[in-house]
Amino acid sequence: LQSNGYYIGPDFAEENAEPEEEAVIKTAENSCLVPPNLPDFHGCSPGWSSAFYGAECFDSEVHSYMKSLGKQKSNESQSIDAKKVELEQLLMMETKNYRKTIKFYQRLLQKERRNKGPETKSMLTKLRGQLEEMKSRVQFLELVKKYIMYAEQWGVESSVLPTIIHNGRTDTMDVAPTDESSVLVYYNTEKQKCNNQNGIRVLQAGTPLGLMAYLYSRNAFLEGYVQQFLYTFRYFCTQEEFLQFILDRISSTLSSVSLDPSSSLTKICNRSFYILQAWIEDCYSVDFATNENLLCTLKEFISSKVAPLNGYGEYLLSLLEDASARKSGSSQQYSCMEKFEEVEEDRKTLHSICKKLSEDMYRKNFNWKLSKGIGPIAHYQRERLYTISSVLPKPCYDSFTEELPVSFAKADEVGPYLLTEYSVQQLCCQLTLLQQELFHKCHPVHFLNSRALGVKDKCVAVQKAVATEEVSFKVCNLFLSKSIQDQYLIQLLRNADSISTWVAAEIVTCHTSKLQVSLLSKFLLIAKSCYEQRNFATAMQILAGLENLIVRQLPAWKILPAKVAEIMEELKAVEVFLKSDSLCLMEGERFKTLPTIPSARVLAMHVQQLETGGFTMTNGAHKWTKLRNIAKVVSQVHAFQENPYTFTPDFKLQSYLRQRITRFKDADISALAADNCANFHHIPAEKHSRKIQDTLRRMKATFQ
């Protein structure tokens, strides 16, 4: 890999950066993409961290640093522009020093590999500490920049929100606002005082219009409300209603926008665009891609109302085209969003390089290591990373058998024997990559309202009858009836069930006890390796396959090595841990550094538990505290997607695994087991004949 003139070694290659790590440097050519009469709208989506941490995303240190920016003297007035200029300069200097240090570290690392010496090793250790400090400083400055971008810009006081609701047109701001308590309910707390965020009032509940209007409040972004709203608004309004609410506010203010940023009309218009862009960036795949009418309505409005009056309309249309291209998997047009990604790509590499520095430390602190099973998977990863095949495009086959090697084209003939030829590490890597491919296509919204889709705990199969699903949907649906819900979660769970069935089928179809023991051991070790690598999805899928009633009764368990058999208890302990707390995987700092794939079914069950109970108060207002907790739990989906696994794909092995999983996905395990004599307990022939002789002898004695 080559980035900005210096080499990035394979030991430090990562793909994604933390969500708090926004753009470090905005070049001059970026500014021309957005019209000069509109504010900077680059990357409007607050991200998962906003929904997860809420107001705590910006601590007191950020607030105090924010106040010190933009003024040379203590009595000098502050301005947002002055703060931005000073912060950009600081970021540029810190980033420059950061890159120089990384470049020096890379050279020193190569020297240490050639000539290992104590002096070089000691200097590398010191440099690691310096890099961590420099990374922390850059991240802090970026967090401050994010705060400046959100702080009090384009928002109005909460007392004005009812006027926005009832009037529709915000040019009547001089009219006395109606009673705020009729649309929004607050409660008092002392926790907000340290941040000086509008006293001690915290939103508790609101009507649908009230909750939509609160998006325009001064601190909606800082409190994490905007991102939480984008995750959960489908519980109380449809996508069409939300879009119409935003478009009405744009229509009533766009033609009257003033250059004065303090104007109420300017604030409402800019905040409307900001919310709209954040919605597109974060939820296009679950709202616009699945609802053609919604997308057409938005495009028509932008083309007819926004584009003629404001150049920002062209940017929004380009944003929609880019999102559509990403959704369909083809990117034919070089849109402005892709240009932004090019500018930020170096930033991602810059920050992600140092993630490897602290990764090993987190791995050592992993729980549940009750026995020594297999070695770390990192050796296989280093051994196979950055090969020629890793940069080649993935082969596309019209069928599983076309142009495949004989050993893979005849997977049915090979059977489970090929599994024994690969190491635990190799199988773990490829199963993880297959699972990651599915997980990265899901969205936090997919885990909402899952009971309406027939999703239940693993002991209850997913309903397949259409009529039954319709009845269940009517009874359990928590979204509004006209809301369109993407059912990708069903696909994710069915894939999980297929893998569990495949595991059980491979074991019961083994024709010898020796092969059965070998496969049992291998699957147990794969599951252990998966959960140690934080791939909890595959680990729980293998556990479900091993806990199949037929599999648990196999005689092979009795001759399984004791150390391997202990892994089963470890897996059960992991399952209990995952079910114990909906946010257990977000504890500490490991999830920010190490890749993670959660169990989709366990996460769906946690969300269902939060959805239990009423969503409205006695006055009909929707409980925002309940919706906020749901948003916090599902936000971890985006958090985990920030850190992908970097294993080298083995497409041949993946093809074989896909074939075997597809073959057994609907298999009847009991029927398969009945055809295999290795699945039954056998009494030795000599012992059996001796028992018959003894019985005959006793019978003969009774007649004498």
Strand order in the sheet with 184-188: 184-188, 201-206, 622-623
**Contact indicator for 77, 67 with CB cutoff of 8 Å:** no
| Cβ neighbours of 36 (radius 10 Å) | 7
Task: Please report the DSSP string for 541-575 in residue order.
Answer: HHHHHHT-HHHHT-GGGGGS-HHHHHHHHHHHHHH
Q: Are residues 285 and 426 in the same domain?
A: no
Question: Is 105 part of a structural domain of the chain?
Answer: no
Q: How would you class 464 by CB atoms within 10 Å of its CB: exposed for 0-12, middle for 13-18, buried for 19 or more?
A: exposed
38 vs 699: CA distance, rounded Å: 103
Q: Are residues 446 and 303 in the same domain?
A: no
519 vs 660: CA distance, rounded Å: 14
pLDDT averaged over every residue in the chain: 77
Q: Are residues 322 and 432 in the same domain?
A: no
- CATH no. for residue 599? 1.10.840.10
Question: Is 449 part of a structural domain of the chain?
Answer: yes
Q: How would you class 34 by CB atoms within 10 Å of its CB: exposed for 0-12, middle for 13-18, buried for 19 or more?
A: middle
What's phi and psi for 255, nearest 5 deg? -75, -15
pTM: 0.77
Q: Are residues 427 and 557 in the same domain?
A: yes
**Contact indicator for 12, 358 with CB cutoff of 8 Å:** no
Q: Are residues 671 and 550 in the same domain?
A: yes
Domain that holds residue 604: 421-461+483-679
Residues in the chain: 704
Question: Is 15 part of a structural domain of the chain?
Answer: no
Q: Are residues 640 and 523 in the same domain?
A: yes
**Contact indicator for 39, 154 with CB cutoff of 8 Å:** yes
Please compute the mean of the pLDDT values over residues 37-57 and round it to a whole number.
Answer: 76
Q: Are residues 628 and 524 in the same domain?
A: yes
Domain closes at, from 293, 327, 361: 327
14 vs 25: CA distance, rounded Å: 20
Q: Are residues 318 and 451 in the same domain?
A: no
DSSP bridge pairs for 202:
187
Question: Is 530 part of a structural domain of the chain?
Answer: yes
Domain closes at, from 327, 359, 389: 327
Q: Are residues 563 and 444 in the same domain?
A: yes
DSSP assignment letter at 511: S
Q: Which of 335-349, 414-428, 519-533 has the highest mean pLDDT?
A: 519-533
**Contact indicator for 652, 485 with CB cutoff of 8 Å:** no
Q: Are residues 547 and 675 in the same domain?
A: yes
Does the pLDDT value for residue 373 go beyond 50?
no
Please count the structural domains in the chain: 2
> Token pair of 396, please?
């596309």
pLDDT value of position 10:
31
Question: Is 412 part of a structural domain of the chain?
Answer: no
**For residue range 565-621, what is the model confidence (pLDDT) as tens digits?**
999 999 999 999 999 999 999 988 778 889 999 999 999 999 999 999 999 999 899
**Contact indicator for 335, 323 with CB cutoff of 8 Å:** no
Question: Is 410 part of a structural domain of the chain?
Answer: no
Distances (CA, A) of 548 to 86, 480, 552: 62, 38, 6
When mean pLDDT is compared across 222-226, 324-328, 453-457, the lowest value belongs to 324-328
Which helix (DSSP H) or strand (DSSP E) does residue 390 occupy?
A: none
pLDDT value of position 178:
56
Question: Is 349 part of a structural domain of the chain?
Answer: no
Closest alpha carbon to 615 in 605, 607, 624, 606: 624
Find how far residue 279's CA is from the centre of its chain.
Answer: 17
pLDDT level of residue 159 (50, 70, 90 thresholds): confident
pLDDT value of position 155:
79
Angle (deg, nearest 10), helices 536-546 and 424-439: 110
Q: Are residues 295 and 444 in the same domain?
A: no
Domain closes at, from 259, 292, 327: 327
Closest alpha carbon to 245 in 257, 229, 261: 229
pLDDT level of residue 210 (50, 70, 90 thresholds): very high
What's phi and psi for 338, nearest 5 deg? -65, -35
Question: Is 439 part of a structural domain of the chain?
Answer: yes
- CATH no. for residue 216? 1.20.870.10
When mean pLDDT is compared across 159-173, 202-216, 241-255, 544-558, the lowest value belongs to 159-173
pLDDT value of position 516:
92
